């Protein structure tokens, strides 16, 4: 069965108005997140912001962090570090797999 376009978490489907309505935040807040580089949605051919499902979830997370008093600069750094940690964890898993394959090769020892 073919996947549908809305199955793609990174497909930019939602407008600023739809996103703000779903998350119950002001559109100005979403624009500010873009301006501060916290959440950078795609742009339509006409220049309108379009949010993916992944970005909507990220905005939800940002809302929680702001409600805890974290600044937008702090949130941007948290998101950067979380991305870096995820990338490093993936790299470690790949290296562990390579090591396990090398240790399991016959003819050693």
Question: What digits encode the pLDDT tens for the residues 41-53?
Answer: 999 999 999 999 9
Q: Is residue 71 part of a domain?
A: yes
Contact 75, 83 (CB under 8 A): no
Which tops the pLDDT comparison, 104 or 23? 23
Q: Is residue 79 part of a domain?
A: yes
Q: Is residue 108 part of a domain?
A: no
User: Could you tell me how many residues make up the chain?
Assistant: 109
Question: What digits encode the pLDDT tens for the residues 19-31?
Answer: 999 999 999 999 9
Contacts 24+ apart (CB under 8 A), 40-48: 41/12, 42/12, 44/12, 48/15, 48/16
Q: Which domain holds residue 61?
A: 5-103
Among 38, 31, 41, which residue's Cα sits nearest to residue 66?
Answer: 38
- The CA–CA distances, whole Å, from 107 to 6, 94, 96, 102 equal 50, 23, 20, 11
**Domain total in the chain:** 1
Q: Is residue 109 part of a domain?
A: no
CATH code of 65's domain: 1.10.1660.10
């Amino acid at each position: 069965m073919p996947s549908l376009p809305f199955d793609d978490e990174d497909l930019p489907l939602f407008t600023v108005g739809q996103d703000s309505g779903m998350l119950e935040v002001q559109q100005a807040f979403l624009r500010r997140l873009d301006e501060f580089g916290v959440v950078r949605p795609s742009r339509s051919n006409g220049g309108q912001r379009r949010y993916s499902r992944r970005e909507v979830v990220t905005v939800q997370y940002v809302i929680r962090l702001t409600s805890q008093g974290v600044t937008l600069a702090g949130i941007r750094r948290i998101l950067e570090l979380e991305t870096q940690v995820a990338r490093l964890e993936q790299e470690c898993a790949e290296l562990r797999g390579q090591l396990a394959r090398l240790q399991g090769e016959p003819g050693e020892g």
